[in-house]
Amino acid sequence: MRAIECREAGPRTVVSASHGSTMAARQGWGQDGAKMGGRMKFSNLFSVICGFLLGVGASGAVAADRTMIVLDASGSMWGQIDGTNKIVIARDVLGEVLTELPEEAELGLIAYGHRRKGDCGDIERIAAPKPGTAEAIFDKVSRINPKGKTPLTEAVRQAAAELGAGSDAASGAVVLVTDGIETCDADPCALAQALAQSGVDLKVHVVGFGLTEEEGAQVACLATGTGGQYFDAKNAEGLKEALGTTVLPPVQEAVVIETPKPEAVPATTLSATASLSPNGPLLRDPGVSWTVRNVDTGKVADRERGAEPVFDVPAGVYDVTLRVGSWEFTQQLDVLADQDNAVHFDLDMARVTVVIFEGEDQVPSDERFRIKGVKGTALAGNSGETFYFPAGRTTVSAKKAAGVEVETEVMLKAGESRTVELSFAFGTVAPKVVWAENGTEVDARVMVKFAEAGSGAHVSQAVAGDSTQLPAGAYIARAKLDGIAVEMPFVVAADEVVAPVIALNAAPVRFDVEGDGLARWAVLDATGEVVFSRRPGTAEVAMAAGGYALELRMEDGSQPHVPFEVIAGEALDVTP
């Protein structure tokens, strides 16, 4: 539906159609055409002419009174156009279009490929075609996490059914937005033919988002076969133009007529706007909410959702509160009588999408993330969600149930739309520690520590014989037992199990050294340096391969030596 606006411009009246949801009349007067806010009292002639023009429609319009959008949310929507993920572009553009949607417009949405990987049945009706769905649609699309296949034919068929296909009452249009071709063994052209032959008053418009010419040709038949249009959207501007044409009611060209100057009645209004950055574009998010509270009485004077609301409130002092996602901002304003008052919020925020990938194929995950910013700000959400967050240095992290954690640090700039990607490209590491190459495993408890191959920074650790997960990459494994320290490089790939075998090049040595007149005993290496010393008795020690001497320190001061050799992998008993 259209809303006709009738406004005065000096001795002339301009009558035009707009995308607004209510009929409005505003007075303008003077050579500069400046608006003077106020309610109008219309002459009979003006009312008759305006009422007549309300019935005049724009010809050649594409948008229908009832529309079902079919949104591609398959894994390929994480691809990029001009450095921005396609799903992020689609969210932003759809949000802008929804702010211009009249309340009485009947709009619904179906999405596919956003819940399960490789499932051609992953099609969800998010909203049935009815008035007032803009907020619910925007909220759901903001949290969609593309990951699956492209069953576009079946999705369009279901959208057509929502509009009554198969019954005599079918009417409206389906708007398919896709960045790929059918991947579920169905024929979109056959569906177009079936819809056309059914005789229903229903068109399918197709928006090819970043499609090649060849790909576009494979889905354009849905449009041409049903009397719809195909739109080749190469970027955000192309997508906005296509959705504006197919979803929003048409704008009628202005008609200038003569009419007497009406009598103005002063009004008190309060308009509210916001932007993410100073001098940045206005925030046009249908999901934001506004509350106007009278400071003196403490009572709420008005509430509104959506972008750029205008409140009719009496003069007074008010707290205007804007809620954007999880954040609230409040300004106090003295609203003056008989004026157009205005309040604006510069939010110093960014719009962020966090996407978590996992596995060898790096498919989108359903893991939750946590984001921490300046001054203790924090937020949690699910992978794929888009949200607002204060500008500044920010840490984004995610942790799997097994305790594996990844994080990254970003600098968010006010006003930007940013996608932050985290990767759970993990492999499993199961280290083994052996006495010698191809030898037996050490049965003692040996802790193996893992460090990054480049920086040497500690990453994780595991007891030999156990396993742990590491992000894909190159590492150094370090094992230490009784002073023997060994390290070896290894590489782990996503979804791979790697078992680095660390050879100590040593052997277990058992000492049984005691007797009359013995004060202490010591083990010397080949250079004569003391390796360790003990009181008389027994000891079991891991020793590196090589030549040694057992030094007996007698009470009479003598120090006889008993030479011995340790061979890697061969247990040894030493007794004087």
Domains for the chain: give ranges and CATH numbers: 1-61+249-265 (no CATH), 66-239 (3.40.50.410), 268-347 (2.60.40.10), 354-422 (no CATH), 427-503 (2.60.40.1120), 508-574 (2.60.40.10)
Average of per-residue pLDDT across 205-226: 93
Per-residue burial over 103-123, b if 16 or more Cβ lie within 10 Å, else e, is: eebbbbbbbbbbbeeeebebb
- Of the candidates 255, 340, 335, the residue with the CA atom closest to the CA atom of residue 294: 335
How far is residue 51 from each of residues 11, 44, 47, 208, measured CA to CA in Å?
Answer: 19, 10, 6, 40
First CA to last CA across the chain, in angstroms? 104
Provide, rounded to the nearest whole percent, the portion of the chain with pLDDT above 90.
Answer: 54
Q: How many CB atoms lie within 10 A of CB 285?
A: 24
Q: Is the dihedral of CA 234, 237, 240, 241 positive or negative?
A: negative
Tokens representing 571? 């247990």
Give the model's confidence band at 129: pLDDT under 50 very low, under 70 low, under 90 confident, else very high: very high
- Among 78-87, 122-131, 522-531, the least confident range: 78-87
Q: Is the pLDDT of residue 23 over 70?
A: no
Average of per-residue pLDDT across 131-158: 91
Given a contact cutoff of 8 angstroms between Cβ atoms, the answer to whether 219 and 211 are in contact is yes
Residues 6+ apart with CB under 8 A from 477: 429, 431, 448, 449, 450, 487, 488, 489, 490, 500, 502
Given a contact cutoff of 8 angstroms between Cβ atoms, the answer to whether 522 and 551 are in contact is yes
pTM confidence score? 0.59
Average of per-residue pLDDT across 497-505: 95
What average pLDDT is seen over the chain? 83
Q: Residue with structure tokens 């799903």?
A: 87
Give the model's confidence band at 477: pLDDT under 50 very low, under 70 low, under 90 confident, else very high: very high
Quick one: how far is CA 231 from the chain centroid?
A: 26
Instruction: Return the pLDDT at 37.
Output: 35
How far is residue 206 from each of residues 19, 51, 122, 188, 556, measured CA to CA in Å?
Answer: 22, 36, 20, 11, 102
Average of per-residue pLDDT across 214-230: 93
Given a contact cutoff of 8 angstroms between Cβ atoms, the answer to whether 372 and 360 are in contact is no
Instruction: Return the pLDDT at 63.
Output: 66
Q: Is the pLDDT of residue 100 over 90?
A: no
Give the model's confidence band at 493: pLDDT under 50 very low, under 70 low, under 90 confident, else very high: confident
Average of per-residue pLDDT across 555-562: 94
How far is residue 131 from each of residues 94, 196, 302, 438, measured CA to CA in Å?
Answer: 16, 27, 22, 74
C-alpha to C-alpha distance for 477 and 486, rounded to whole angstroms: 8
C-alpha to C-alpha distance for 15 and 221, rounded to whole angstroms: 39
Q: Is the pLDDT of residue 381 over 90?
A: no
Residue type, 285: D
Q: Is the pLDDT of residue 233 over 70?
A: yes
Instruction: Return the pLDDT at 559.
Output: 95
Length of the chain: 576
- Among 128-142, 170-184, 387-401, the least confident range: 387-401
Residue type, 232: D
C-alpha to C-alpha distance for 356 and 258, rounded to whole angstroms: 61
C-alpha radius of gyration, the chain, whole number = 37
Instruction: Return the pLDDT at 182.
Output: 95
Average of per-residue pLDDT across 129-134: 91
C-alpha to C-alpha distance for 284 and 417, rounded to whole angstroms: 13
Tokens representing 56? 């005049």
Instruction: Return the pLDDT at 222.
Output: 94
Q: How many CB atoms lie within 10 A of CB 135?
A: 17
Q: Is the pLDDT of residue 192 over 50?
A: yes
Instruction: Return the pLDDT at 544.
Output: 96
Given a contact cutoff of 8 angstroms between Cβ atoms, the answer to whether 145 and 419 are in contact is no
